[in-house]
């Protein structure tokens, strides 16, 4: 709970960025024995923190850029949390910057390519949203979540008050990517994304199909208030004894083996207080 409530919070706030930059530039000036003091390092420190915030902002997790005055979680959702292409551009830029340490060109070129890549991902997200919109009823909410391995891999959602319909798609494939045991982890997490004309739509209900009243009461219980604030695509994930569990489908990545951030609410008898359950 503490992780979900505070991760990417005040340390990632644009409002508090000047304060963090001041503290870090002062500390670095002491460590590096900078003769001009913290002022010489303030600009680069502030830009570095800003780039870190921007790097988190492009994912789907959500970043509280207005903390501590607002707990609104901003998320552009163009980039998967671990993007090998994104990281590769950064690593190559660092390598060439070390090899050509007296030149600014490698870092400038790497940053330009990185920005161009994120812009390209944004256009792919719009394509995924357009595909989902063609399969949505009027009034339904349409979202698209980036997925690993390729900027063309997306999970698209068409949601209403009762259920989420979603499909794992690849925007450029004309044939499915076959996977057999032994092909490796990358192949396993890449294979589920199908060509658009072969997309398979799956339904996940918010409150299940049995004991819906109990499940909905569990979802709206006080112990899950923090999760209602955090989860963007919540869905029922099973009933175990007197507990109803939920997941956020933003993080349900095929081939991964289970979704993170699974929480439940339990009630031992009608009228008894609800309690939090984790798994």
Mean pLDDT computed over every residue of the chain: 95
Phi then psi dihedrals of residue 122, to 5 deg: -60, -40
Domain assignment of residue 205, yes or no? no
On whether the CB atoms of residues 41 and 34 are closer than 8 A, the answer is: yes
Measured between alpha carbons, how far is 93 from 76 in angstroms, rounded to an integer? 24
239 secondary structure, DSSP code: E
Q: What is the pLDDT of residues 237-250, one digit of tens each?
A: 999 999 999 999 99
In this predicted structure, the answer to whether residue 258 has a pLDDT above a threshold of 80 is no
Q: At 181, is the secondary structure helix, strand, or coil?
A: coil
* Integer Cα distance of 158 and 119 in angstroms: 24
In a domain, 43, yes or no: yes
pLDDT in tens, 40-62: 999 999 999 999 999 999 999 99
Q: Which domain holds residue 52?
A: 1-76
Give backbone dihedrals phi and psi of 233, rounded to 5 degrees, phi first: -130, 65
Q: What angle do CA 81, 85, 91 make, to 5 degrees?
A: 100
Residue 13 belongs to a domain: yes
210, 229, 211: which is closest to 220 by C-alpha?
Answer: 229
Q: Is 268 inside a domain boundary?
A: yes
Alpha-helical (H) ranges within 100-224 are 105-133, 185-190, 212-219
pLDDT tens, position by position, 90-146: 999 999 999 999 999 999 999 999 999 999 999 999 999 999 999 999 999 999 999
Number of domains, the chain: 2
**Residue at 196 is within a domain:** no
- The answer to the question of residue 222 being in a domain is yes
Banded pLDDT at 279 (limits 50, 70, 90): confident
> Does residue 215 sit within a domain?
yes
Predicted pLDDT of residue 209: 87
pTM over 0.95: no
Confidence of residue 160 (pLDDT cuts 50, 70, 90): very high
């Amino acid at each position: 709970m503490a992780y979900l409530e505070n991760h990417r919070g005040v340390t990632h706030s644009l409002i508090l960025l000047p304060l963090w930059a001041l503290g870090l530039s002062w500390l670095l000036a002491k460590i590096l024995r900078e003769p001009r003091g913290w002022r010489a390092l303030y600009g680069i420190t502030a830009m570095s923190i800003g780039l870190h915030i921007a790097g988190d902002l492009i994912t789907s997790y959500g970043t509280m850029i207005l903390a501590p005055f607002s707990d609104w979680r901003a998320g552009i959702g163009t980039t998967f949390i671990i993007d090998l292409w994104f990281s590769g551009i950064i690593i190559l830029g660092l390598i060439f910057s070390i090899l050509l340490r007296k030149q600014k060109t490698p870092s400038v070129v790497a940053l330009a390519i990185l920005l161009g890549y994120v812009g390209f991902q944004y256009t792919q997200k719009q394509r995924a949203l357009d595909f989902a919109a063609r399969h949505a009823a009027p009034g339904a909410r349409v979202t698209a979540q980036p997925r690993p391995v390729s900027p063309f891999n997306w999970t698209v959602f068409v949601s209403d008050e009762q259920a989420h319909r979603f499909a794992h798609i690849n925007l450029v494939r004309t044939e499915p990517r076959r996977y057999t045991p032994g092909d490796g982890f990358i192949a396993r997490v890449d294979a589920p994304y199908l060509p658009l004309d072969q997309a398979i739509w799956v339904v996940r209900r918010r409150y299940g199909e049995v004991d819906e009243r109990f499940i909905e009461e569990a979802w709206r219980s006080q112990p899950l208030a923090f999760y209602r604030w955090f989860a963007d695509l919540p869905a029922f994930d099973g009933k175990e004894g007197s507990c109803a569990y939920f997941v956020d489908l933003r993080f349900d990545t095929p081939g991964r083996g289970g979704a993170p951030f699974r929480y439940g609410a339990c009630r031992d008898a009608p009228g008894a207080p609800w309690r939090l359950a984790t798994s």
